[in-house]
Chains A and B, each alone.
Chain A
Amino acid sequence: MSAQEKQNFAKRLDLRGLMCPEPVLRTKRVLDGKPEGAIEVLVDTDINVMNLTRLANSLGLFLESEEREDGYQVVISSTESGSPTSPASQSRPEHNHGDAPGSKSAKTVSNQAEGTNTHTKTNMVLFIAKDTFGEGDRDFSVNLINVFLQTVLQAGHKPQAILLANTGVRLMDPDSSVSKVLNEFKEAGTDVFACGLCVEFYGLKDKIAKEQITNMYAICEYLFSADKIISP
C-alpha cells in the first residue's frame, strides 16, 4: 500500500480490540453507506480478516489484507485496488477456499465473481406468487420461470431472498423441475422461503423442508426492507 493511496481512503476504521461480531458489523455499516472509494480497516486477528473477506464477497467488493506488527490492515473497495497486483493473486476468488488470510504477511485479493464485478449491491428480493412466468400454455410457462431463475443466477445477480407464495410454493416441491435452481440459489447464500399457509393449502407440507417455510410476518419483513422487489 503506497503512501499516496493511504490519503485516498474514503474512511478509516480502527477496530482493534473489538470482539466478534463488532468488526464485521461496523465495517458493514460503513459499506452499506456506499462510501466513495476504498476504506481501510484495522483489526487484530486473522479471524477478523477472514470474516471481513466474507463480508466483502457478499457485497461484491474487493478486499486486500496485509499482516503488520500491530495487527492487520484490510482495504475494501468496489474496484480492484490501484496498486498493481500480480494476475495470479487476482484470479482466485475467495469462495473456493477458507484458509487463513494468506501465509504470514501475504497479500490476498479476492472478489466473488470470476473477474467481474457486476453484482448488484442493492438489497434485492424476488417475490414469486405463482408457479408460472406470465399466463399462457401451462408447461411452457413453468419452463419459462425455470429459465428466468437460471438466467438470474448465471448473470451473477444475488437476491437477498426468494420468497414463494400461493402456487409459487409448488416450485419448491422436490419433484418440480424448478427446485434445482432454487437449491442453487440457497447454496449461493440466498434465503429461499415458502409461505407456510400456502404450503399447507397446496398439501406440500411433507415435501418442503421445515426450515424453508416461513410466515407472512417474515415475508413482510423481507419485502419492506428490500431496496428492490422483482416479481416475474
Chain B
Amino acid sequence: MRVLCGNHDADKMTTSNHESSRKLTANVKAAGCAAKISSLALKQLLSSLPRQNCPQLLTSLDNFEDAAVYKITEDIAIIETVDFFPPVVDDPFLFGRIAAVNALSDVYAMGGNPVIALNILCFPTCDYPLEVVEEILKGGHAACAEAAVTIAGGHSIQGPEPVYGLAVTGFINPRSILTNGGAQEGDVLLTTKPLGTGVMLLGLKGDSLLEAESKQLLASLTLLNKGALEIAKKYQPSAATDITGFGLIGHTTEMALASGLSAYLYMDKMPFFAGAVRLAGQGFVPAGAYGNRNTFGPSVINLKHIDIAVQDLLFDPQTSGGLMFALKEEPAMRLLKELIDSGLTASIVGGFQLGEPGAIEVRK
C-alpha cells in the first residue's frame, strides 16, 4: 500500500529510523494540545476578524471560554465545542479514546451535559492500514458511549498527518453556566487530575517511563471529566475551566484575567505525575511549554525562585487535562475530600486575591 502512494515527506523524516515510521506518533511534530496555536497568535488572529452581534450568544470570545453557549429559552441553552489533534500515543484505539475524552471535556468545563458528537478525521490512508483508522474511531466511540454521548456522524479527509477529534453538542441551563470569569477574591483553586501530560507524553514517546508511570498517565488521559463535574456541581463553584493547551499557568491566568483578580499557586501542592519532574529536568519539554512560557511567563511573580523542571511543568500544555474550579475555601475542602474519596487526584493548588488582574504569584 505504501508503494502505491509514492514518496512522502513523512517518509524522508524517518529514513534514519525505519522502525518508527510505522508508529502513529512517528511523524507528529506537536502532539495533543501541545499542537495548539499559541495564545498570543490566536489573540491576534481573532482580533483581526469583524465583531458579530448575537444576543443569544452567552459566551464571549474575549474571555477565552471552553465552549460556546447559545440561549434558546430561559432554561435551555445549547453548548457547542470542537477539539482535535494529532496522535499522542501509538495505540490507535487509545488515541481515539483520549482525543474524544479531551473534546468532551470542554462541555464539562462549562458545566454542561454533552449529548451528541460528530467525528472529525484527517488521515493519510497511504501510510497506515485502514484498520488503524477503524481503531481510532472505535476508541472515540468507546469514550462517547461511556459519557452517554451519541456519535451522529462526522467528516473525514486525507492529509499528511493523522488528526482526530470531535465536535460536541450539549445542553446547559443558562443560569448554571460555569465560566472563567466568576472567581471571587478569597476563592481557592482546585484541580482534578495530575499535571504534566505534555512532558510525560514526550517521555512515553521516548520510551523513558516506568510501567507504573505510564499506567498513571494513560489512566488520567482516558478519564472523563464527567464524574468530577457531577461532584463539583453540588458545591456551587464560582468559576471553572479545564486545563489544556495553555497549561496550569495559562488557564489560571485566563481565569484570573476574566475575573479581574490576581492568583497565587503553591509549589508544594502541585500534583505532578510520578516521573514528571525527572523527565522535565532531563529535557523532555514540549515546544508548547516554551511557547506558554513566552506568553504567560512575564506576568508570573517569583517564577525564577523555583526549580526549572517545576517551572516547565507549570507551563506544560495538557492533553485531556482535568477540570479546575474556583470556590470558597470551606466548601473546597469538602469537595476535595469527596473527589479524593471517589478516586480522583484532586488538589488545592492555589487561589485568587486582589491585585493586578491576571498576575500570578508563585509561592514555595
Residues of A within 8 A of B (CB): 17-22, 24-25, 28, 45, 47, 50-55, 57-58, 94-98, 100, 160, 183, 186-191, 193, 209-212, 214-215, 217-218, 221-222
CB proximity of A127 to chain B, nearest CB, Å: 16
* B residues in contact with A97, CB < 8 Å: 304, 308
Q: Is there an interface contact between B281 and A21, defined as CB atoms closer than 8 Å? A: no
B87 within 8 A of A: no
Contact of A191 among B17, B275, B287 (CB under 8 A): B275
Of the listed stretches B96-104, B206-214, B353-361, name the one at the interface; the rest are far from the partner chain.
Answer: B206-214
CB proximity of A210 to chain B, nearest CB, Å: 5
Docked complex Cα distance between A53 and B280 (Å): 11
A-B contacts, 9 listed (Cβ < 8 Å)? A19-B28, A19-B29, A21-B208, A25-B206, A50-B290, A54-B281, A94-B308, A96-B308, A187-B307
Q: Is there an interface contact between B287 and A187, defined as CB atoms closer than 8 Å? A: no
Q: Is there an interface contact between B283 and A210, defined as CB atoms closer than 8 Å? A: no
Q: Is there an interface contact between B285 and A191, defined as CB atoms closer than 8 Å? A: no
Q: Is there an interface contact between B271 and A189, defined as CB atoms closer than 8 Å? A: no
Most A CB atoms within 10 A — which of B27, B212, B273, B345?
B212
Q: Is there an interface contact between A211 and B267, defined as CB atoms closer than 8 Å? A: no
Q: Is there an interface contact between A95 and B307, defined as CB atoms closer than 8 Å? A: yes
Contact of A55 among B27, B205, B283, B345 (CB under 8 A): B283
Q: Is there an interface contact between A218 and B212, defined as CB atoms closer than 8 Å? A: yes
Docked complex Cα distance between A19 and B202 (Å): 10
Closest chain B residue, CB of each to CB of A96: B304
The total number of A-B Cβ pairs within 8 Å is: 115
Q: Knowing that A98-B293, A189-B307, A190-B278 touch, tell me 8 more A-B residue pairs with CB under 8 angstroms.
A: A24-B284, A28-B283, A54-B312, A94-B308, A98-B297, A186-B277, A211-B194, A221-B211
Docked complex Cα distance between A186 and B210 (Å): 17
Q: Is there an interface contact between A211 and B272, defined as CB atoms closer than 8 Å? A: yes
Contact of B283 among A51, A183, A186 (CB under 8 A): A51
Q: Is the interface of A mostly helix, strand, loop or mixed?
A: helix
* B residues in contact with A211, CB < 8 Å: 194, 216, 271-274, 345
Docked complex Cα distance between A54 and B277 (Å): 11
* A residues in contact with B17, CB < 8 Å: 22
From known contacts A94-B308, A98-B308, infer whether A215 and B283 are also in contact, taking CB-CB under 8 Å.
Answer: no
* B residues in contact with A47, CB < 8 Å: 285, 287, 290
CB proximity of B361 to chain A, nearest CB, Å: 17
Docked complex Cα distance between A188 and B210 (Å): 20
B268 within 8 A of A: yes
Docked complex Cα distance between A109 and B165 (Å): 43
From known contacts A218-B210, A221-B210, infer whether A160 and B282 are also in contact, taking CB-CB under 8 Å.
Answer: no
Docked complex Cα distance between A45 and B285 (Å): 13
* B residues in contact with A218, CB < 8 Å: 210-213, 274
Docked complex Cα distance between A27 and B206 (Å): 12
| Complex interface residues of chain B between 325 and 341 (CB less than 8 A to chain A) | 340
Closest chain B residue, CB of each to CB of A187: B307
CB proximity of B209 to chain A, nearest CB, Å: 10
* B residues in contact with A45, CB < 8 Å: 287
Q: Is there an interface contact between B282 and A28, defined as CB atoms closer than 8 Å? A: yes
B286 within 8 A of A: yes
Docked complex Cα distance between A64 and B193 (Å): 37
From known contacts A21-B284, A96-B304, infer whether A187 and B211 are also in contact, taking CB-CB under 8 Å.
Answer: no
Contact of A52 among B211, B268, B283 (CB under 8 A): B283
CB proximity of B214 to chain A, nearest CB, Å: 11
From known contacts A54-B280, A209-B347, A210-B345, infer whether A191 and B212 are also in contact, taking CB-CB under 8 Å.
Answer: no
Docked complex Cα distance between A24 and B285 (Å): 10
CB proximity of A54 to chain B, nearest CB, Å: 4
* A residues in contact with B272, CB < 8 Å: 211
Q: Is there an interface contact between B278 and A189, defined as CB atoms closer than 8 Å? A: yes
Q: Is there an interface contact between A187 and B13, defined as CB atoms closer than 8 Å? A: no
Q: Is there an interface contact between A21 and B312, defined as CB atoms closer than 8 Å? A: no
Contact of B13 among A17, A50, A94 (CB under 8 A): A17
* B residues in contact with A189, CB < 8 Å: 277-278, 281, 307, 309
Contact of A50 among B29, B281, B285 (CB under 8 A): B285
Q: Is there an interface contact between A20 and B286, defined as CB atoms closer than 8 Å? A: yes
CB proximity of B79 to chain A, nearest CB, Å: 31
Docked complex Cα distance between A176 and B168 (Å): 48
CB proximity of A222 to chain B, nearest CB, Å: 8
Contact of A21 among B206, B211, B307 (CB under 8 A): B206
